[in-house]
Structure 1
Amino acid sequence: MNDKLFKHRIPDPIPMGCYSPEDVIFLLKNLNGLMTETDLQTREQIIQSGGHYSEMLPIEYEPTKEYLDLFHRTLQESASKVAQAVGLVAEQILRKNGTKMVLVSLARAGTPIGILIKRYLLEKKGLDLPHYSISIIRGRGIDENALLYILQNHRGAKLQFIDGWTGKGAITRVLSKACAEFNAKYEVEIDDDLAVLADPGHCVKTFGTREDFLIPSACLNSTVSGLVSRTVLRTDLIGETDFHGARFYEELRGVEVSNLFIDSIAKEFKKLDLQNSMFENSYDQAEVSWQGLKSLTNIKETYGIRDINFIKPGIGETTRVLLRRLPERVLVDSIENPNLKHIILLCEDKGVQVEEYPHLTYSCCGIVKQVSR
């Protein structure tokens, strides 16, 4: 037995979120009543003056009826496509890892995708795999206590990390560095492979598609992610054996669509008939070129952007900019792109300029407003 792994026993998590525990267990500390949200302007100024985004929570965007209607339409239109991408990535991770595996979603965009992968493997393979959602934070790393908890409770199992999509690949790099440090510290061999539904940035080897298409769960915040906020790491709130923290928006239960999203995609699994040729050997053949990141250098120079982190590429990341940052403008490959209806709607709602930018690697890019020099 590895004594380092069991030196500090990590306590069981307290249930949170609106998903069934059969779908996922959040390894997060409930911060309800311990912190309040910060308005966008203040939060942006703090971040751009050197503060860290993980020490604050944004105010949750309240979608208009028109925007929610668009979410429901998009969900109906894309359910089959999303289900196929889930099936492809699930088959890949099963071939790579075998059946003694724990699914580890990166909160929060990874959580619904992890649930869908779990549901697919249960439906198609009869496999009921454990699934946890844990925190990873750019500039701060992964939640070590969450990893310790999983390893303490699932000895000998392989861990498969899961996220929703890639942008520049920042989290891919954070995960790789964090796993290397964790492995050295605890004398283990966790694989840093990250499985995603969509990889438009060409940042990972395990993916369902590389098309930058609209994943409906990217449209909303907590209401499609189990009513859980983005994760928080503050020393005054998180103790030595605590998990990273998050808010549980119980007051939004009346408008949550988290389980509707899961059920709408999962019912498509019965119709799926994936041919072996669609996914076999794909992991070994997939090239990680980081071509998305390379294309952002031109945008950075064209618009005089001082920090590449102000450019948020892809539909998922652009949506995040519009929902919880101060956007300056949005670049799109084409105004007519049908995947961008919700982006255009959000831009109209918030008065954000939209520009066509030919030859984008992604369908769109959101540019954060520079508020401090």
Structure 2
Amino acid sequence: MTDLPDTPDQDLLALDGLLSREERATRDRVRAFVDEHVRPHVARWYEDAHFPRELMPELGRLGVLGMHLHDEGCPGRSAVEYGLAALELEAGDSGLRTAVSVQGSLAMSAISKHGSEEQKARWLPEMAAGRAVGCFGLTEPDAGSDPGSMTTTARRDGSDWVLDGRKRWIGLASLADVAVVWARTDEGVRGFLVPTDSPGFAARPIVPKLSMRASVQCDVDLDGVRLPADAQLPGARGLSGPFACLNEARYGIVWGVLGAARDSYLDALRWSLTRRQFDRPLAGFQLTQRKLTDMAVAIAKGQLLALHLGRLKDAGALEPHQISVGKLDNTRVAIEVCREARTVLGGNGVTLEHSPLRHASNLESVRTYEGTDEVHTLVVGQRLTGISAFR
């Protein structure tokens, strides 16, 4: 087999020089984990629609659960390091990066941002270690892009709260120990920590799926779930509570999708160097080189955008519309790279022996969750015009 050039990720613009030694070490450590623990198994997991829950403690030891949080027991790494980790995880599979995002950027972030000191002490160290799993219940069957129309309710009954309603597309819910559930109350939308063994809580994996198969998304029913008063997240009032968590997850997506794109590109590159047609390597044809060039340039530009947003986030200067720019463009670019990579592979690209079509299928989910293309387009449009087009 023809060897690839020395730089395994095809660092076309010498972007490594923009990273610190510590950032490169974090990236390399996560990449090595994915190579050892994910790549040998992910095609089978995808085919079997299986997410290996036993990976969660391993991910905890790797230090990627709640990676960017600075609470006691959390890794406390930089936004750029978290982004690099997300990229390497998604190079394995979007389902893996999604699990880390649901745990850290959504559930743990909600507790960190909005929880009491007691709630933080109870859950964050266990979740950072992967000994406890969390989920984030915002989306409903009839309230996806418009969470303000949620119908799940929480009503007071003496000193307790009683929750009723339904949630849909809730990652990790059937594996979780605790659910962060958002519900409408007399005081507006509030967040609650719901132990998943509570009577009236039920989570059912959504099957069958054509995307994110090595991952778990669920329908959740809340039927008279009774919670003590201290189950409420005291710092979250209104939709700004969940939106703050969604922005953390969206930031991770800006980086993560580039991992799927890079893995697809490298698969196509390796294939083109070894596959011979008409007595020459496929890589020797002009049309193939154009495809490879377009893919490599698109990935490099996406990495520059992600790194710029990461530096802004670490400086405390990142704004929501900037995250929308990154999520919108990097996701749609990544899908196109994956699809183009599949064309280089020809018919063999539709098998699970190769990654591009698996990645492309996964990314159809990624472009939908945490804000669709349309939602992020309107966020950016509002920033440009000063006019909200949502209603």
- Normalised to the residue count of structure 2, the TM-score between the two structures is 0.26
Higher helix share: 2
Greater Rg by CA: 2
Structure scoring higher RCO (CA < 8 A, sep ≥ 6) equals 1
